[in-house]
A = this chain, B = another copy of it.
Amino acid sequence: MNIHHPDKTRAKARQTVTSTPAAVTTGAIAGSIKIYSSPAGRPDIHVPFREIALDPSSGEAPFRVYDTSGPFTDPDAVVDLNRGLAQPRAPWLAARGLEAIAPRAVKPEDNGNIAPDKLVAPCPAERVVLSGQAGRPVTQLDYARAGIVTEEMVYIAHRENCGRAAMLAGAEERRADGEDFGAAIPAFITPDFVREEVARGRAVIPANVNHPELEPTIIGRNFLVKINANIGNSAVTSSAADEVEKLVWAIRWGADTVMDLSTGRNIHNIRSWIMRNAPVPIGTVPIYQALEKVDGDPAKLDWEVFKDTLIEQAEQGVDYFTIHAGVRLAYVPLTARRVTGIVSRGGSIMARWCLSHHRESFLYERFDEICDIMHRYDVTFSLGDGLRPGSIADANDAAQFAELDTLGELTKVAWDKGCQVMIEGPGHVPMHKIKANMDKQLATCGEAPFYTLGPLTTDIAPGYDHITSAIGAAMIGWFGTAMLCYVTPKEHLGLPNRDDVKTGVITYKIAAHAADLAKGHPAAKLRDDALSRARFAFRWQDQFNLGLDPDTARAFHDETLPKEAHKVAHFCSMCGPKFCSMKITQDLRAEALAMEPSGDDGGRLAGLAEKAREFNEKGASLYLPAE
């Protein structure tokens, strides 16, 4: 089914007022409309895409792009944060023999024992809490290994194939292009290929059985490179309203997953608003909330409070947990002589605990019990790199790689327990040390998806770390990293605001796409080509709309040439009319192509190409008389 709304094509983002907790940004992204498409034979599955209508003069069909923005950009969708989003997965989950259980009772400490008058009301949206039953398949990994293709896999195959059909025409050229460093990216994605990748542990589908609102996505090196945006309040600033809007805002610009790193009060209730209104996988770091429950004293943490927090968040529907089980007692002293010590919050908390009790981490000792809990709800592991380097000086050191070895060991334990696993990576790493990280992770963790923060390629630009890290992110994404965790301009300086979130997301979409291009992803180049054709033809509106941020591109152009007439002008303020190289070559091209009376210029062009080669073979000596 394809629902088109041509009239809404130029719709501007607008504010929808809802009761609580906040109004969120809705409305189509400039120049595009939301469509839904179903895989062959599955009219019941509706995969969202955006379509960008191009100027009739282009003679090109609307350009379809992967869309993470959820119902918020569908003008026909009713957005009511109190009721939560529609539940595409509900019928799929209903058929899987999951058990409806009595939910864990919410405790005062879940919201930081906040005074009743300061308590944020939970999201009123009602959901039955589900849990897997002993001896029956629960996780996407269980089903994949059993040879069963889930609806999530069918959905994902159709979603990842965006553009591939169109590309298959020029497939030979495509195959000749790109360096994939041992990845195995197929020309076309079948549901069974998705299943196979999940079964091998080479890809994950973060999809908690208690997250029916999810639009499934996959994270693995043989699929499109994904990006994550972090949101979350801190004790110092931010609120529930801000966080829900940050979620909606981050996915509007392309975040594939969102991590809620909240550490303040009302964590439980804010999370309920986020989960019920999240069409993307949501990740958390449970140790943060556990620490809040023990008044912020790491030494007071224990297995019981942590276990209780895992269950609390799993029942809410969190899709993946960062677990810092690789921070072992023996590794902590390896960080003592570092320039920046331990820069992971979770890592420093667990290191503190280990030294305070002079014993091994309870996350490490209880790892198989953690697996059992996460398996029950199909919460995916994101094994945290608690000892990642926080500076160029500490990159690739003994502490970092000792932990990575342990993460490889834990990956196999989790796999044995039927859990999906991805591995978190650095951090701050100079360019020449990046590939070693990817190679060691692939070897140590059996190709489990790598999920890196940047890496930042220098420490000297606070205020610009989205850029210092985009360089490293693009490179490590090319080398094989499956998901890139964004870094905003505020990194190291403060909590990102709305603009910082957008800048971080767009910057990381650039890094991920540059990586897809370099890996030789079959369809990645289509968007570059469409935009470049628009640029050369002076289809300004098409150039803006095909870009990652149409609003900013249009605003920059209009700063110097605001008139609508300039949207079709054959120049811009950069060079002006006389010096527009593309204007000049448009005429040139016409001439070159018209050189032959027949109008068929093939022979002539070949002839000149041949002549060019001759020139060079002859050493192209100077003063060769021109014919």
Contacts and interface: CB of A to CB of B under 8 A. Distances in A.
A19 to B, nearest CB: 28
A307 interface: no
B532 A391 contact: yes
A2 interface: no
Interface string A150-172: 00000000000000000000000
A121 interface: no
Count chain B CB atoms within 10 A of each CB in A390, A492, A511, A587 and give the residue with the most. A492
A536 B588 contact: no
A177 B179 CA distance: 26
Given A360-B624, A393-B528, A471-B470, A574 B518 contact: no
Nearest to A500: B556
A461 B556 CA distance: 12
Given A462-B553, A553-B462, A612-B330, A298 B575 contact: no
A592 B355 contact: yes
Interface in A251-266: 263-264
A561 B236 contact: yes
Contacts of A263: 575-576, 578-579
A592 B467 CA distance: 35
B431 A478 contact: yes
Interface string A485-501: 00001111111010000
A428 B536 CA distance: 14
**Chain A interface residue bracket vs B:** 35 or more
Contacts of A468: 510, 514
A392 B532 contact: yes
Interface stretch (A192-200, A242-250, A544-552): A544-552
B348 A588 contact: yes
A294 to B, nearest CB: 11
A515 interface: yes
Contact of A517 (B368, B457, B572): B457
Contact of A467 (B510, B609, B625): B510
A430 B514 contact: yes
B535 A340 contact: yes
Nearest 5 CB-CB pairs, A to B? A360-B626, A341-B585, A391-B532, A235-B576, A431-B518
A437 to B, nearest CB: 14
Interface string A377-401: 0000000000000111100001000
Interface string A331-355: 1111111011111110111011001
A513 to B, nearest CB: 5
A588 B459 contact: no
22 contacts: A234-B573, A234-B576, A264-B576, A330-B611, A330-B615, A341-B589, A344-B581, A348-B581, A351-B585, A355-B592, A365-B623, A367-B622, A390-B535, A391-B536, A406-B615, A428-B532, A431-B515, A462-B543, A463-B547, A475-B475, A493-B556, A494-B559
A421 interface: no
A432 B547 CA distance: 22
A400 to B, nearest CB: 12
Interface string A591-617: 111010000010011001101110110
A114 to B, nearest CB: 15
A189 interface: no
Nearest to A515: B431
A58 interface: no
Contact of A345 (B296, B461, B579): B579
A51 to B, nearest CB: 16
A506 B582 contact: no
Contact of A236 (B457, B514, B543, B576): B576
Given A431-B515, A462-B544, A467-B467, 5 more contacts: A340-B532, A349-B581, A406-B620, A458-B514, A459-B532
Interface string A206-240: 00000000000000000000000000001111000
Contact of A573 (B347, B428, B495): B495
Given A392-B525, A588-B355, A458 B608 contact: no
Contact of A348 (B490, B506, B548, B585): B585
A62 interface: no
A116 interface: no
A506 B329 contact: no
A162 to B, nearest CB: 14
A579 to B, nearest CB: 5
Contacts of A398: 609, 612
A75 interface: no
Contacts of A591: 355
A579 B507 CA distance: 27
Count chain B CB atoms within 10 A of each CB in A234, A264, A559, A609 and give the residue with the most. A234
A591 B492 CA distance: 25
